[in-house]
């Protein structure tokens, strides 16, 4: 449709017709364009996106992808996606037609990412390169599945980089007890670390806890949300995975300690956060405590590893541990296999006995 000029201020606008999914015919008006060309370009882009025309630019298609993902992903995940797409993908693919991007284009982009060096001469990490490729491939997969793009050129090329697992550190019970003793000078820190070590919950899960989550008669704590700070705002969202929604049975001593700690906080409401500190605060306290206690420095998340390794040492199964910490049992088996006692000799002994029975 043609563009029109606003006689009052000289700007341009367009009126365009389109059909909703349900078959309802509608008209959209978009105003405020400086030139007629800008107005017509907006209308062209709008109609191509409405029709799912794969002749649109990659950047225009990313807008469709972004709108859909907003309804399905957490804000933190969306922010990560946006940073990767805008910073590493759109500068290369943005102006290319979606249906004209080839495996060769993806390969050239990979080579640019592999050749990148920062001001100190450092390349992207192997795991970051893998993340970049996965995001590009996810956009093409979305186009294949929902808009009938014939194939995913990123899949044809194959990934770059590999996932790097960070070294898994943990404290023994003796190391943790040394650490916790020096934490007693700050009740908020002491009780926070008690919960992290003796329940194995995640840092965000701890910081989202409210008094209503504790059932001191049953000795349990409920995990059904997580805390994070984004763009200067406190955010309480759903947990990391469905499996993360769980009830954790606390040891009796921890139940008593938490009951006392909550009573210590005057005016604390049932829906208030129990631990009103930041992740930065906990990291600082972790460093202070480790130094004063003379134990090795580990990350906050390593307290979760410490809890799991303690339960493995106590003889609990991967399934039981997974239920407690909100993991899949296969992930516990895979990530902590080196900590489980080897049953190879017992297997061999029983196989030998079985064979002898047939003699």
**Low-confidence residues of the chain, pLDDT below 50?**
none
Tell me what pLDDT residue 342 has: 65
Tell me what pLDDT residue 184 has: 96
Tell me what pLDDT residue 226 has: 92
Tell me what pLDDT residue 206 has: 97
Tell me what pLDDT residue 23 has: 62
Tell me what pLDDT residue 17 has: 73
Q: Give pLDDT tens digits for 116-155.
A: 999 999 999 998 999 999 999 999 998 888 887 888 999 9
Tell me what pLDDT residue 58 has: 94
Tell me what pLDDT residue 26 has: 74
Tell me what pLDDT residue 333 has: 76
The three-state (H, E, C) secondary structure of the chain, written as one string: CCEEECCCCCCEEEEEEEECCCCCEEEEEEEEECCHHHHHHHHHHHHHHHHCCCCCEHHHHHHHHHHHHHCCCCHHHHHHHHHHHHHHHHHHHCCCEHHHCCHHHHHHHHHHHHHCCCCCCCCCCHHHHHHHHHHHHHHHHHHHHHHCCCCCHHHHHCCCCCCCCCCCCCCCHHHHHHHHHHHCCCHHHHHHHHHHHHHCCCHHHHHCCCHHHEECCCCEEEECCEEEEECCEEEEECCCCHHHCEEEECCHHHHHHHHHHHHHCCCCCCCCCCCCCCHHHHHHHHHHHHHHHCCCCCCCHHHHHHHHHHHHHCCCCHHHHHHHHCCCHHHHHHHCHHHCCCCHHHHHHHHHHHHHHCC
Tell me what pLDDT residue 92 has: 95
């Amino acid at each position: 449709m043609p563009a029109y000029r606003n006689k009052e201020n000289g700007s341009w606008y367009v009126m365009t017709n389109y059909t909703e999914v349900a078959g309802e015919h509608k008209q959209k008006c978009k105003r405020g364009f400086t030139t007629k060309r800008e107005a017509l370009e907006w209308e062209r882009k709008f109609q191509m996106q409405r029709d799912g025309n794969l002749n649109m630019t990659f950047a225009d298609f990313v807008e469709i992808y972004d709108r859909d993902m907003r309804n399905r992903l957490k804000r933190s995940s969306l922010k990560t996606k946006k940073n990767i797409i805008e910073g590493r993908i759109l500068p290369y693919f943005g102006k290319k037609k979606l249906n004209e991007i080839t495996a060769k284009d993806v390969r050239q982009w990979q080579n640019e990412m592999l050749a990148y060096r920062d001001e100190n001469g450092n390349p992207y990490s192997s795991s970051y390169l893998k993340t970049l490729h996965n995001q590009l491939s996810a956009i093409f997969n979305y186009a294949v599945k929902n808009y009938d793009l014939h194939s995913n050129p990123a899949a044809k090329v194959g990934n770059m980089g590999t996932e790097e697992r960070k070294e898994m550190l943990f404290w023994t019970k003796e190391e943790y007890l040394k650490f916790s003793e020096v934490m007693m000078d700050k009740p908020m820190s002491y009780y926070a670390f008690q919960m992290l070590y003796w329940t194995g919950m995640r840092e965000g899960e701890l910081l989202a806890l409210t008094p209503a989550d504790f059932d001191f008669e049953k000795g349990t704590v409920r995990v059904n949300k997580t805390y994070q700070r984004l763009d200067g705002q406190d955010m309480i969202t759903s947990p990391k995975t469905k499996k993360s929604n769980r009830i954790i049975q606390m040891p009796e001593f921890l139940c008593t300690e938490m009951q006392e700690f909550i009573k210590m906080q005057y005016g604390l409401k049932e829906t208030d956060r129990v631990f009103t500190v930041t992740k930065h605060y906990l990291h600082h306290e972790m460093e202070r405590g480790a130094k004063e206690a003379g134990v090795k420095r580990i990350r906050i998340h390593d307290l979760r590893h410490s809890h799991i390794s303690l339960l493995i040492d106590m003889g609990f199964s991967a399934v039981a541990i997974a239920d407690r910490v909100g993991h899949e049992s296969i992930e516990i088996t895979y990530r902590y296999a080196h900590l489980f006692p080897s049953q190879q000799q017992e297997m061999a002994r029983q196989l030998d006995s079985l064979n002898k029975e047939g003699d």
